[in-house]
Structure 1
Amino acid sequence: MKVRSLCLCFLSSLGLLLAADEEAPALNPELPTLFIAGDSTAARNNNPNIQGWAEPFADFFDTEKVNISNRARGGRSTRTFIAEGHWAKLLADLKAGDVVIIQFGHNDGSPVNEDESVPEEKRRSRGSLPGLGSESVEIDNIVTGKHEVVRTFGAYMQEMIDEVIAHDATPVLASLTPRDIWKDGHTERGSGEYRTWIRELAARNELGFVDLTRLTTDVWEQLGETAAKTFFTQDYVHSNDEGARFNAAMMLSGLKGLRRGKIDRLEGWLNRTGEGVPADSIGWLNLPEPANAELPSIVLIGDSTVRNGGGDGAGGQWGWGEPLAQIIDAADYNVVNRAIGGLSSRTFLTQGHWDRAKTLIKPGDWVLMQFGHNDAAPLTDNRRARGTIRTAGDEIQAVYNLVTFAPEVVGTYGSYLRGYINDIRALGAHPVICTSVPRKIWDEETGLIERNGGGFPAIAREVAEAENVPLIDLNELVAVRYDAMSKDEVETMFGDERTHTSLVGAQLTAEIVAEELSKLLEAK
């Protein structure tokens, strides 16, 4: 068995090298081209058990409308893809209007230069320096025998980005394909920090970013470990044919869902199969995940008053979850703000956001929920269909959902909160209910901030008491702070007319949450 394993390993490596030396097929010069630059996880490999996603990727496109050119090469890092001339060959074929998907990282973590103790057949000397900085190191490359200045991963990526843009073409950055590594029923969500660095590079350059890591692992988590492992045959890094096609579909889904760096002509390039792949609906939100899997997390779910848009303060509007992450010591807890604007306790569940969030929750975590603002909407309409029945009971109402075009049984605000509580407890985590933050509405009789909130804060209090769940009464606590201010001061707390807080207003609410949460943490 050991000899057979070694033989397979050797043949696999040989296959990767052969694939790397193959010339790219000729392009139709009359058509735009979508290029892929990457490593063996994208490349065409001469091995039936190992296939890169960029090979079946062409099956989603009408090749009479666009060239799909897979230039990914096995075993390459950003550094060696450039140094060996693969990048120069791609640039020689690149023209205005083309698109280049750039995906590296798996091999950049290798040694910068092996020493003589490493057997010659195992020497690669392909690693880049970590990070996005301008650091460099000079080496005498043990593989090529040449003197070389090695730069950071970010420097090599930035070089590629700049040169694509210089050709009037469009670069799109993609995070790594995930590896088949599982722990406690959950899969690894990235090799090292490359995903974070790639995301930051995309933001810095205002480019499209496809988080292939998230897209694939979100589905893996729903399938379960046994089913997800069918995408791998020979090792835990390289997918088989089936896994490659799955990854290709996820990449296309990510491209379809781009807002920043959107490819305007993409839909016109697709064939019927490609048209059937749904667009990623949440990529633009840049939803966070636990930064340190070894630490407990404080997970937030809710609406735009917790996390507005992409959590970047667009339009001067902030949810309180972003500044909370700055207050909580990152050495003690991850703050994972999974709240999404425009949702109610009902639609956060029915649109699948809760299922995704649950995969990030582990025993000992804390989960804070704050809904209510959008629960007051109609049970069904042709815009959002997000309302809930305004009680703490178990009433239900059958509706025809004019958004999903399907029948739906709608429950009460209280029943949805209880559902979250039960799920959180089943995961071994601690649920906490937050009442909805007050709007900037003045009670004409008292001159104070209105507390009612459509009755949902009262329902949240009732559920918290009945279920013996801690309550952070933000509706009251924040309103008290506003009452102590002048109306002009309260104005500065808001980024719009009356609902969404400014940064300073979000910071105030976050301070209150942190104070109340610290009491709960100390009590445990």
Structure 2
Amino acid sequence: MKWFSSYQWLAALACLLGVAALHASEQDTRQPATIFIAGDSTAATYNNADHQGWGAMFGQFFSDEVTIDNRARGGRSSRTFITEGLWQELINDVQPEDMVIIQFGHNDGSPVNDDRRARGTLAGIGDDFVDIENQLTGKQERVFSFGHYIRQMVNDVKAKGATPVLVSLSVRNLWQRNGMSHRIERGSGDYGYWLYQLAWESDTPYIDLTNAVADELERLGQQATASLYPKDHTHYNDEGARLHAKHVVAGLKGIKPGLDEALFSEQGQQTEAYDWSFVRLPVKADKFRKSVFMVGDSTVRNGWGDGRDGQWGWGDFIDEWLGQPPLNIVNRAVGGLSSRTFVTQGHWQRALNMMNPGDVVVIQFGHNDAGALNDDSRARGTIKGIGHEEVVIDNMLTGQTETVHSYGWYLRKMIGDALSRGVTPVICSPVPRKKWDDSATRIARASNSYPQWAEHVARQAQVPFIDLHELVASRYDAMGPAAVDAMFADKHTHTSLRGAKFTAQLVAERLAPMLGLSVEETIDGGSQ
């Protein structure tokens, strides 16, 4: 399958997420004449095969129609890139429709004031600042937060009619034992998360380079990874730079509107797109905290997770009840997917690779598993039940041969994968739809279907189970049709803000004891 070149695939993707149909026209693709890169030594160009930034290899993925202008400069932070005038020189050359890739963080944790570099920024993305007499320059300077400098860059690019793209940090060759295996560091400090927050705040494309590269390096292993970092743990050689560049390109192919396929070289066209960049799936806020992950469909995280059309998933509000003491709440659910396609499209593995021993992952699928096993629009169905049946198909959507299993098989896979990492899986039955029985006084329950199959798999595996189907349905019964209408943003499937918060609190109350927490709020339908 040719990723990002098929209108049929893009239309299917839009349908999966419940968004407006995409149109095969020029307005659906970006065609920048120049792609600028602003960053530090991990992106900068060097005349040294053993010390190379990914920006030096980036141009290999594009045709001659695109100019790659790499302005990254070694040793700079977001602050010094601006204060030394490098940013102004770049922005002066930016034209409407250009693209500017922005990646900083490796040097922002340095001292704010010293006589050697004086390049550090204040931690976070707040409005705080400190006035200093710069020991390096001898001048008065007001130093701001990391977020302040990134915001300035984003705003400057948008003011020129160009597109900013925020990219999380490259990966350092630092490993530590994690459970029964060794895992590579996933980002220095919290800069990747701060960039993610800034991307949401400014409605700017975000590429999670850190986790994408870390996944590949862990597959390669420590010895092969070490060969990519001959100088030190931060800087890589040509091959390491090319690996990072490839993942930046994969991420760019997944933003909307995307880059025209004609802009890519043969190498770029062969690079498989990460088609979900535009959804901006969450990343962990603090790698040292315990995390609660959620995986599922649109009833857990709807579309972009921004309440479009009034529709929200319950996973977006768990933190309102489980935020103290601080936990990472990471909602990796993707609308339109089944247990099968969440696995086959790589979302499960990406989420799993972010988890650490002691974390919790809440799993809820079922709404989309009843779809067709094979068609040219979604091809997401699973074999009914929890048995070991399987069928081999030539997938009409992907063009690939695939072995399709039962709903229970995919749940068991996720449970087994989580347990092998020291992660606690919690199975949820799918939330009920707003469908009343003939008396119009009781929500219709599914029988011998996904709620029961989910429970059976959980009991077999002896892992925690939350019967969300019955919990929510019984409360809807007590509320009555008029009150329940306010819980939904569409006819019968996707909850409103009120409905999502209502369900989130039910889940939080069952999760809290597993996390050693308590939930004191009274269930009243959630805050408005």
TM range (shorter): 0.7 to 0.9
Q: How far apart are 1:481 and its partner, in Å?
A: 0.2
Q: Which moved more, 1:178-187 or 1:236-245?
A: 178-187
Q: How far apart are 1:308 and its partner, in Å?
A: 1.4
Q: Output the CA distance in 2 between the equivalents of 1:223 and 1:164.
A: 37
Q: CA 1:231–1:456 in 2, change beyond 3 Å: closer, same or farther?
A: same
Which structure ranks higher in relative contact order (CA pairs < 8 Å, sequence separation ≥ 6)? 2
Contact 1:375 1:387 in 2 (8 A): yes
Counterpart residue number, 1:129: 122
Q: How far apart are 1:329 and its partner, in Å?
A: 2.9
Counterpart residue number, 2:87: 87
Q: Does 1:403 align with 2:404?
A: no
Q: Does 1:158 align with 2:145?
A: no
Q: Output the CA distance in 2 between the equivalents of 1:362 and 1:156.
A: 32
Q: Which moved more, 1:383-392 or 1:283-292?
A: 283-292
Q: How does 1:158-177 map to 2 (within 5 A)?
A: 158-177=151-170
Q: Output the CA distance in 2 between the equivalents of 1:316 and 1:141.
A: 49
| Residue among 240, 245, 257 paired with 1:243 | 240
Question: What does the per-residue CA deviation read over 1:424-480, in whole Å, with 9 as the maximum and x for residues that have no partner?
Answer: 222223232211110011111563101117711122222233333332111111100
Counterpart residue number, 2:103: 103
| Higher-Rg member (1/2) | 1
Q: How far apart are 1:103 and its partner, in Å?
A: 1.7
Counterpart residue number, 2:73: 73
Contact 2:101 2:166 in 1 (8 A): yes
For this pair of structures, how many residues does the alignment match? 482
Contact 1:376 1:454 in 2 (8 A): no
Q: Which moved more, 1:354-363 or 1:237-246?
A: 354-363
Q: Does 1:206 align with 2:207?
A: no
Q: Does 1:450 align with 2:444?
A: yes
Q: How far apart are 1:239 and its partner, in Å?
A: 1.4
Question: What does the per-residue CA deviation read over 1:257-302, in whole Å, with 9 as the maximum and x for residues that have no partner?
Answer: 112xx465x5333222222222222222322333333333322222
SS of 2:425's equivalent? strand
Q: How far apart are 1:244 and its partner, in Å?
A: 0.6
Q: CA 1:334–1:103 in 2, change beyond 3 Å: closer, same or farther?
A: closer
| Residue among 312, 315, 319 paired with 2:313 | 319
Counterpart residue number, 2:525: none
Q: How far apart are 1:315 and its partner, in Å?
A: 1.8
Question: What does the per-residue CA deviation read over 1:34-54, in whole Å, with 9 as the maximum and x for residues that have no partner?
Answer: 221211111112433110111
Please give the TM-score of this superposition, normalised by the length of structure 1: 0.86
Q: CA 1:66–1:392 in 2, change beyond 3 Å: closer, same or farther?
A: closer
Q: How far apart are 1:224 and its partner, in Å?
A: 3.3
SS of 1:231's equivalent? coil
SS of 2:418's equivalent? helix
Matched residues, percent identical? 49
Contact 2:33 2:97 in 1 (8 A): yes
Contact 2:46 2:52 in 1 (8 A): yes
Q: How far apart are 1:330 and its partner, in Å?
A: 4.3
Q: Does 1:226 align with 2:219?
A: no
Q: How far apart are 1:521 and its partner, in Å?
A: 4.8
Question: What does the per-residue CA deviation read over 1:403-435, in whole Å, with 9 as the maximum and x for residues that have no partner?
Answer: 122332222222222222222222223232211
Counterpart residue number, 2:13: none
Q: Output the CA distance in 2 between the equivalents of 1:165 and 1:469.
A: 49
Q: Output the CA distance in 2 between the equivalents of 1:464 and 1:324.
A: 22
Question: What does the per-residue CA deviation read over 1:292-327, in whole Å, with 9 as the maximum and x for residues that have no partner?
Answer: 333333222221111212222222111111111221
Q: Which moved more, 1:33-42 or 1:147-156?
A: 147-156
RMSD of Structure 2 on Structure 1 (CA) = 2.3
Q: How far apart are 1:487 and its partner, in Å?
A: 0.9
Q: How far apart are 1:222 and its partner, in Å?
A: 3.3
Q: CA 1:354–1:227 in 2, change beyond 3 Å: closer, same or farther?
A: farther
SS of 1:287's equivalent? coil
Counterpart residue number, 2:456: 462
Contact 2:190 2:285 in 1 (8 A): no
Counterpart residue number, 1:495: 489
Counterpart residue number, 1:382: 376
Q: How far apart are 1:139 and its partner, in Å?
A: 2.5
Q: How far apart are 1:360 and its partner, in Å?
A: 2.4
| Residue among 142, 153, 156 paired with 2:135 | 142
Q: Output the CA distance in 2 between the equivalents of 1:230 and 1:90.
A: 34
Q: CA 1:177–1:329 in 2, change beyond 3 Å: closer, same or farther?
A: same
Q: CA 1:372–1:454 in 2, change beyond 3 Å: closer, same or farther?
A: farther
SS of 2:434's equivalent? coil
Q: How far apart are 1:332 and its partner, in Å?
A: 5.3
Q: Output the CA distance in 2 between the equivalents of 1:282 and 1:130.
A: 29
| Residue among 278, 297, 300 paired with 1:303 | 297
Counterpart residue number, 2:45: 44
Q: How far apart are 1:106 and its partner, in Å?
A: 1.4
Contact 1:45 1:74 in 2 (8 A): no
Counterpart residue number, 1:26: none
Q: Output the CA distance in 1 between the equivalents of 2:361 and 2:43.
A: 37
Q: Output the CA distance in 2 between the equivalents of 1:225 and 1:177.
A: 16
Q: CA 1:146–1:512 in 2, change beyond 3 Å: closer, same or farther?
A: closer
Letter in 2 for 1:190: G
SS of 1:101's equivalent? strand
| Residue among 241, 249, 253 paired with 2:250 | 253
Q: Which moved more, 1:165-174 or 1:315-324?
A: 165-174
Q: How far apart are 1:336 and its partner, in Å?
A: 2.4
Q: Output the CA distance in 1 between the equivalents of 2:387 and 2:97.
A: 58
Question: What does the per-residue CA deviation read over 1:326-354, in whole Å, with 9 as the maximum and x for residues that have no partner?
Answer: 21134254322222211112221222222
SS of 1:425's equivalent? helix
SS of 2:330's equivalent? strand
| Residue among 309, 331, 335 paired with 2:329 | 335
Q: CA 1:247–1:410 in 2, change beyond 3 Å: closer, same or farther?
A: same
Q: Output the CA distance in 2 between the equivalents of 1:113 and 1:56.
A: 34
Contact 1:60 1:270 in 2 (8 A): yes
Contact 1:77 1:104 in 2 (8 A): yes
SS of 2:100's equivalent? strand
SS of 1:484's equivalent? helix
Contact 1:97 1:168 in 2 (8 A): yes
Q: How far apart are 1:401 and its partner, in Å?
A: 1.7
| Residue among 415, 420, 425 paired with 1:426 | 420
Q: Output the CA distance in 1 between the equivalents of 2:96 and 2:332.
A: 39
Counterpart residue number, 1:19: none
Q: How does 1:344-359 map to 2 (within 5 A)?
A: 344-359=338-353
SS of 1:431's equivalent? strand
SS of 2:376's equivalent? coil
Q: Output the CA distance in 1 between the equivalents of 2:212 and 2:91.
A: 29
| Residue among 466, 472, 477 paired with 1:478 | 472
Please give the TM-score of this superposition, normalised by the length of structure 2: 0.85
Q: CA 1:145–1:320 in 2, change beyond 3 Å: closer, same or farther?
A: same
Which sections of structure 1, spanning at least 5 residues, go unmatched? 1-30, 116-122
Counterpart residue number, 2:60: 59
Contact 2:77 2:119 in 1 (8 A): yes
